[in-house]
Amino acid sequence: MRSCYLFARSVADPGDARLARLLDTAATAGLDTVITKAEAVTPALATAVHRRGLRLLGSVACFRGPDGPVPVGDDGLPWRRMEWYDGVRPNDPDWNAALAARCAGLARTPGIDGLVLDFLRWPLHWELELRPGARPRSASYDDATLTQFAAHSGLHLTVSGAQAARLIAHEHAAAWTRYRTHTVTAVTHDICEAVHAARPGLWLGAFLVPADSEEERRRLVGQDGTGLGALLDGLLPMTYHAILHRTPAWVADVTRELARASAAPVTPMVQSSTDAAALSGGDADWGKPFGAEEFTAALRHALHAGQGRLCLFPGEGLGPTHWSAVRTELDAWSPAQSTATQPAAGRRPTEETERA
């Protein structure tokens, strides 16, 4: 997959000249896929995308508020909004049944070529909470979740809220992680069943939190690369280096770590801009501005570690210099590069295994 993510407002009018230029540029640069919100996909948009030889994937927000089962933090209080993000518990049976039905309905959208599950996790505003020096929060310590945890683990808890959070952290951390990963993997399985019953063979993937290790990803948000990779057709770690105050080489580190765990192909994401207000229309901190050289470095690291796969985020953030770099790097890439010695600064040198 060589793709870009476009915001829903950019694709709202499939006849818009700016969208036509963007799709033309993406196809000419060597991309093969466009991703946008699934609810924004219309037959007219699908026609515009397919006419240029691109496929069209729709993203689905699984566990994002403000509506939905409210998590309880490790302080015993309802989860507090951070920037634009409201988390939702991924373990409410009614919510999850409705989510699976919603995904099945979106799978029937005329012209859509696949779905990418987003916010498929326990609550965490990782864009801020995974920055160096930050203290990630934990959720959910509500009564319903603790009852489920006790049933899954066989433990008998006599406390709740903040007291339960402290007890779990000190004595039952491993069981808590197993329960949380089981929850996310199980709901993913149910979504896959519903989607493939509605439309057999439809491509289905997920955006994953770009944790530094599989252990950290499982512990913080319940995403298990091995379990999810066995269910899905592709995993896309959201490796936005500037948002997380990292170097371009970090993109490759995260990608290799996930690829080592997952049987599904891994497609790293490359951040194109830090101008959140202009591009997304929202007020978010996307990190310090960076130039074309840093973008090209991130692009190269993504291609090497991703076996030629990448997703540019957002597509609207690329100017002529960026698109020129994309085309140059895609034209120059070959599978042999992914097994060659990587640029310095990677944390964990690993062997690459090539996938189709």
Query: How far is C-alpha 91 from the geometric centre of its chain's CA atoms?
Result: 19
Is the Cβ–Cβ distance between 99 and 106 less than 8 Å?
no
Q: Which amino acid is at 18?
A: R
Residue 78 CB neighbours (<10 A):
13
> How many Cα neighbours within 13 Å face the side chain of 157?
27
The answer for residues whose C-beta is within 8 angstroms of residue 105's C-beta and 6 or more apart is 198
Whole-structure pTM value: 0.93
* Residue 136 falls in which region: left (phi positive, over 0), alpha (psi -120 to 50) or beta: beta
**Could you name the CATH architecture of 2-72+79-138+172-339?**
Alpha-Beta Barrel (3.20)
pLDDT at 350: 31
- Nearest CA to 29 out of 309, 337, 325 is that of 325
The radius of gyration of the chain's CA atoms, rounded to the nearest angstrom, is 20
Residue 69: which of 89, 85, 84 has the closest Cα?
89
Give residue limits of the domains in the chain.
Answer: 2-72+79-138+172-339
**What is the C-alpha to C-alpha distance for residues 100 and 74, in angstroms, rounded to an integer?**
29
Tens place of pLDDT per residue across the chain (356 aa): 999 999 999 999 999 999 999 999 999 999 999 999 999 999 999 999 999 999 999 999 999 988 999 999 999 999 999 999 999 999 999 999 999 999 999 999 999 999 999 999 999 999 999 999 999 999 999 999 999 999 999 999 999 999 999 999 999 999 999 999 999 999 999 999 999 999 999 999 999 999 999 999 999 999 999 999 999 999 999 999 999 999 999 999 999 999 999 999 999 999 999 998 888 877 799 999 999 999 999 999 999 999 999 999 999 999 999 999 999 999 998 777 665 434 333 332 232 222 23
pLDDT of residue 339: 52
Give the closest residue to 313 by CA, choosing from 284, 338, 347, 342: 284
CA distance 49 to 35: 10
